[in-house]
Structure 1
Amino acid sequence: MKWSMRIVMTLGLSIIMVVCLSLLPKMDRSTGLGSPYNWSSNRAGELTDNNMVDLLVQVPLQLRIRKVELSNSRMSLDLSLPKNADSAAVYRDLYTIAQTMITKTKNVNQIWVRVIDYSGVTDSTSTQLVLAMVAQRENGKDMEKNANELSLIQLEQQLQNRFRITYTSKWQQRYPL
């Protein structure tokens, strides 16, 4: 009798373990859909220091990101302006950053972007600010068009009408009207 009871208990525990292990992948998938770390869906998630890189690597930019900071509901980005970049690439990246942060995040209400020229940096000279943009969530809610679908003039007008953009003399030297 003792052996038969041990066999029944071992069999019962084995069945319970098999059932529990078979349910684990389903539980993992169901909790992963609402996770703030999942940027593959079209739903907005909460941006944190832990998942910021996961979102930023999906943003198609031509300029290189030099620095990113997230504090409260504000995200600050520094972009490096290469020597051969044209103004359309700058405007396209600004539009894409604003559109992505507004549509894919819930908690970012302001996006501060600085475009900085690092090309002439030596020990005695510092970096030069070329352009700065402050984008508010409420001003960019209806940015449906993709940046690649807009012309240079449309991109420039969309950004200037929606957000605050400050041009420096370095911008005007580099991209004269």
Structure 2
Amino acid sequence: MKWTMRIVLTIGISTAMALGLSLLSNMELNTESSSPYTWSSHRGGQLTDKNLADMLVQVPLQMRIRRVELSMSRLSLDLSLPKNADTVTVYRDLYTLSQAMLNQTKNVDQVFVRVMDYSGGSDAASSQLVLAMVAQREFGKDMEKRAGDLSLIQLEQELQNRFRITYTSKWQQKYPL
């Protein structure tokens, strides 16, 4: 009789532990989705060094990101201009990037973007600035249209009317009027 009671008690305790551990892992999965270290595109959140990569991966860009720096409420990015990129690609990426960073985050107030030409070599010393843009939250609040729905002229006007864009002589050589 003693052995039967011990076996039943051991089975009961083992079952309770297994059930408790399975509930604990389910609770852990539910809390991970609302963790501040992962990015949810459905709502605006705090952009940090820990979730910056998660956010940038969700932004559909044609140009490659070469450098990113987040400091306080300022995000700085360097984009690499491909040899065969046209003006639509550049403007669409600038619009998409500024729209995502200003409307889907709570703490980014300024986005600095440099479009760089690295065709002279792979190191930073051989790169040339093609275009620079400063986008501020106050001017990007109502950017509701998707970049794919806008024409080249609309994209250019939207960006120039909202943000500060500086074109270099390299831009004018590559994309003459």
- TM bracket (short chain): 0.7 to 0.9
Rate the CA distance shift 1:3–1:146 in 2: closer, same or farther, 3 A: same
The 4+ residue runs of structure 1 with deviation greater than 6 A are: none
Offset from partner CA, 1:48-89 (integer Å, 9 cap, x none): 222222221221111111111111111111011122111111
Aligned residues: 176
The share of aligned pairs that are identical, in percent, is 70
Contact kept, 8 Å, 1:47 with 1:107, in 2: the verdict is: yes
Confirm whether residue 158 of structure 1 aligns to residue 151 of structure 2: no
CA distance in 2, matches of 1:41, 1:78: 22
**Equivalence map 1:8-157=2 (5 Å):** 9-121=9-121, 126-157=126-157
CA distance in 2, matches of 1:77, 1:167: 16
Say which SS state the counterpart of residue 111 (structure 2) adopts. Answer: strand
**Aligned partner of 2:116: which letter?**
I
State the TM-score, normalizing by the size of structure 2: 0.87
Cα drift, residue 147 of structure 1: 0.4
* 5+ long unaligned stretches in structure 2: none
Contact kept, 8 Å, 2:132 with 2:165, in 1: the verdict is: yes
* 5+ long unaligned stretches in structure 1: none
State the TM-score, normalizing by the size of structure 1: 0.87
**Aligned partner of 2:21: which letter?**
L
Contact kept, 8 Å, 2:45 with 2:105, in 1: the verdict is: yes
